[in-house]
Amino acid sequence: SQKIEQNSEALNIQEGKTATLTCNYTNYSPAYLQWYRQDPGRGPVFLLLIRENEKEKRKERLKVTFDTTLKQSLFHITASQPADSATYLCALDYNQAGTALIFGKGTTLSVSS
């Protein structure tokens, strides 16, 4: 059966360190993989998208890698700040008209000062 796993439910790190979140999937072949941020009681907000033929994508302090052989994506936040504390969701995307994103359970990141 199809499955998306994000490595841990919670991750606690100190301010200034790099947070690394993992997303693994089985029995999918997505065209894209996306990462979203969700704050409590709010809808998700788009962060980054990476295509199946891309190895790495960067945006400011964020970096995403995508290994279609391992079926894994890593999401990094460098120089983390308390404001980065939130739940981060990975989502698989078939990029077909009318198809929804499929989400992992998310990892809740807490950055302490």
- Answer for the pair 76, 13: CB distance below 8 angstroms, yes or no: no
13 versus 48: smaller Cβ distance to other proteins:
48
Which residues, 6+ apart, have CB-to-CB distance to 43 below 8 Å?
none
CB of 16 to other proteins, least distance (A): 27
Structure tokens at 68: 């279609």
Amino acid at 44: P
Q: What's the residue count for the chain? A: 113
One residue of 3, 9, 79, 112 binding other proteins per CB under 8 A: 9
Residues of this chain, 19-48, that bind other proteins according to CB under 8 A: 32, 34, 41-46
The whole-angstrom separation of Cα 59 and Cα 84 is 14
58's tokens: 């960067």
Sign of the torsion formed by the C-alpha atoms of 43, 59, 101 and 1: negative
User: How many residues make contact with other proteins (CB under 8 A)?
Assistant: 25
Least distance in angstroms from the C-beta of 69 to other proteins? 23
Q: Which is nearer to other proteins, 14 or 96 (CB)?
A: 96
Please report whether residue 2 would count as binding other proteins according to CB under 8 A: no
Contacts to other proteins by CB under 8 A: 4, 9, 32, 34, 41-46, 49, 89, 91, 93, 95, 97-106
